Structure 1
Amino acid sequence: MTDLGPDTWPPAPITTERLVLRAAEARDRAVVIELAASPEVGAYVGGARPREELERVVPAIPGQRPGFFVVELDGATIGMVTFDRRDPQRLGHIRPEGGERELGYLFLPHAWGRGYATEAGAAAVAWFTATLPGEPLVLSTQTAHAASLRVAAKLGFTEVERFEDYGSEQWLGVWSPPGPAGLPTVNK
Structure 2
Amino acid sequence: MSELGPVAWPPAPIKTERLVLRESEAWDRAAYIELFASVEVGVYLGGSRSRDELERVVPEVPGRRPGVFVIDLGGAMIGTVSIDRRDAARPGHVRPGGGEAELGYMLLPRAWGHGYAAEACAAVLEWFAETAPAEPVVLCTQSANTRSMRLAAGLGFTEVERFEEFGAEQWFGVRDAGAPYGAARP
Alpha-carbon distance in structure 2 between the residues aligned to 1:178 and 1:137:
11
How far apart are 1:136 and its partner, in Å? 2.2
1:6-45 matches, within 5 Å, as 8-45=8-45
Contact 2:3 2:66 in 1 (8 A): no
Alignment of 1:100-115 (within 5 A): 100-115=100-115
- Structure 2 unmatched runs, 5+: none
Report the Cα distance in structure 2 between the residues aligned to 1:141 and 1:114, rounded to whole angstroms: 20
CA apart distance, 1:99: 1.4
Offset from partner CA, 1:4-44 (integer Å, 9 cap, x none): 36862111111101111001111111111111111100000
Q: Which amino acid aligns with 1:34?
A: E
AA aligned opposite 2:94: I
TM-score (norm 1): 0.91
Between 136-145 and 169-178, report the one with greater CA deviation: 169-178
Return the letter of the residue paired with 1:132: A
Confirm or deny that 1:184 pairs with 2:168. no
CA RMSD of aligned residues (A): 1.8
Percent identical among aligned pairs is 62
Aligned to 2:117: 117
Count of aligned pairs: 182
How many Å apart are 1:134 and its aligned residue?
Answer: 1.0
Flag the 1:6–1:87 CA change in 2: closer, same or farther, 3 A.
closer
Q: TM-score, normalised by structure 2?
A: 0.92
Unaligned runs of 5+ in 1: none
| Residue 67 of structure 1: aligned partner | 67
* Residue 153, structure 1, aligned to residue 153, structure 2: yes
Q: Is the 8 A contact 1:3 1:132 kept in 2?
A: no
Q: 1:59 to 1:22 in 2, by over 3 A?
A: same
User: Does the aligned pair in 2 maintain the 1:5–1:66 contact within 8 Å?
Assistant: no
